[in-house]
Each structure stands twice: as structure tokens, then as C-alpha cells.
Amino acid sequence: FYYLFGFLALVLVILVVTCAEISITLTYFQLTAEDYNWWWRSFFASASSALYVFLYSIIYFNSKLKIDKFVSVLLYFGYMSIISIIFFLLTGSVGMIAAFYFVRAIYASVKID
């Protein structure tokens, strides 16, 4: 029982670190190309993993589940849409906050004389 929550906490930490690293890396590449519109791209860079979650739920529905009733299908995809949107907002927020602190740190070290 205790191993389950420890494992889930470890996976959550790995997810947060991965989203932050991807967003920081892509923001850095964008800033080196002199494109300063990094806000939404840093959000969508890490939030795009929610698309994978939703596409995997479609594949799982077609391959493993044997649901025939329309209401059950509607409930399944309704809940998976809500979960995917929450995952989209969670990972996007982590990525954008990490990129914000990264940009703030690199521009704070620039000396303007």
C-alpha cells in the first residue's frame, strides 16, 4: 500500500521535471533565434502531452474495452476529455512557470551599462 503512493509520487516528480526541462529547452532555442514570443509556446510545448493521453485513451477504448452502449461511450470519452484537459492545464502550467523563471534568471544576469 505504501509502495504505491511512493511510486506515484516519484512518477509525478519525473513528470514535472520532464515538462520543465522540455519547456526550458524549447524556450532557450526560441530565444536564441531572437523570437521573444515565448509565453504560449512554452505552455503548449509541455501541455502537448495531454494529446498523447487522449489519443491513448482512444486506442485503449478500441483495443481493450468492449463497450456497446452509447451512454457508456459518452461517459468514457467525457471523463477522458476532462482528464485530458486537466492534464493539459497542469503540464502546461508547469512548463510555462519553469520557462518564466528560466527567462527571468538569464535576463537578470545581463548587465546593461
CB atoms within 10 A of CB 22: 19
Per-residue pLDDT of the chain (113 residues; tens, 9 = 90+): 678 888 999 999 999 999 999 999 999 999 999 888 899 999 999 999 999 999 999 999 999 999 999 999 999 999 999 999 999 999 999 999 999 999 999 998 887 76
CA quadruple 110, 28, 98, 23: dihedral, nearest 10: 180
d(CA 77, CA 71): 10
Q: Which residue has the cell 481493450?
A: 64
d(CA 23, CA 97): 9
CA quadruple 55, 58, 59, 64: dihedral, nearest 10: 150
Q: Are 95 and 23 in contact (CB under 8 A)?
A: yes
pTM, rounded to two decimals: 0.88
Q: Are 15 and 91 in contact (CB under 8 A)?
A: yes
Q: Are 102 and 57 in contact (CB under 8 A)?
A: no
